[in-house]
Amino acid sequence: MIQIEQADFVAVPSRDRRRSRRFYGATLGLRPDEHEEDEFWAGATCLAIWEPREEFQPSVYSPVALRVADVAEARADLESQGVEFVGETRDTGACQMAIFVDPDGNHLMLHRRYAKHGET
């Protein structure tokens, strides 16, 4: 059984990151993250702005990122229980993530940040 530590962030798809940063920061007054210009804090919840590529459309890909100690281990555990994953596990240079689907087709993410963006 995997152990979910917490929700790391909620992905917020955007067609224009700059416009979204103004909206979440200036309009809504959310606290910007100290290290990531595309992340804002609503209390203890991080909202992470991103621009989807063609294969990730905003209407179907807005996962909650669930922090786990080891993405590969958690993915293997869930796959052994028949959970369907979308694509391969990704490594961004700052975190690992693996997208999976719940029984209703909602996308969720196993996530583990290991460095600030740009640090390895």
Q: What's the whole-number mean pLDDT along residues 104-118?
A: 78
Under CATH, which architecture does the 6-113 domain have? Answer: Roll (3.10)
d(CA 39, CA 32): 6
For position 117, what pLDDT does the model report? 56
Per residue in 34-50, pLDDT (tens digit) is 989 999 998 888 988 88
Q: Where exactly are the structural domains of the chain?
A: 6-113
Query: What SS3 string covers 24-84?
Result: HHHHCCCEECCCCCCEEEECCEEEEEECCCCCCCCCCCCCEEEECCCHHHHHHHHHHCCCE
Q: How confident is the model at residue 65 (pLDDT cuts 50, 70, 90)?
A: confident
